[in-house]
Amino acid sequence: MAGLTTLEFEPGIVNHDLKAALDVFSPYLDEKGRVVPYWHHETWHDDNGSSHIKAALLSPFITVPFVNGKITVGPWQNLTLIECDTRDRVRDIVFQVMGE
């Protein structure tokens, strides 16, 4: 489970702030350091239920306009893949460019 977004790709945001914000909605560990039980864990016998919720709050795709052949994001914005899973994964990213 991963999501795409635009954000300022800065270590404080990427490594701490965004994770803390997503953990408010879907924590992986409780205050005692235990994995929070999600119904997903009962169904699939794994520990990544919070990852599915976090990915759902993001988006599996992003639409970014181009003008005169240049991407139109803010000066500090980057297209960013946010990995939400509890273990390492290999991800494929597909770029589709559409014309007028």
- What pLDDT, in 10s, does the model give residues 26-68? 999 989 999 999 999 889 989 999 999 999 999 899 998 888 8
99 within domain boundaries: no
pLDDT reported for residue 100: 62
CATH number at residue 28: 2.60.120.460
100 within domain boundaries: no
Count of domains forming the chain = 1
For the full predicted model, state whether its pTM sits above 0.85.
Answer: no
Domain interval for residue 53: 2-83
pLDDT band at 79 (very low <50, low <70, confident <90, very high): very high
56 within domain boundaries: yes
**Based on the number of CB atoms within 10 Å of its own CB, is 72 exposed (0-12), middle (13-18) or buried (19 or more)?**
exposed
**Residue 85 and residue 87: Cα distance in Å, rounded?**
6
Q: Please work out, in degrees rounded to the nearest 5, the angle formed at the alpha carbon of residue 65 by the alpha carbons of 2 and 17.
A: 40
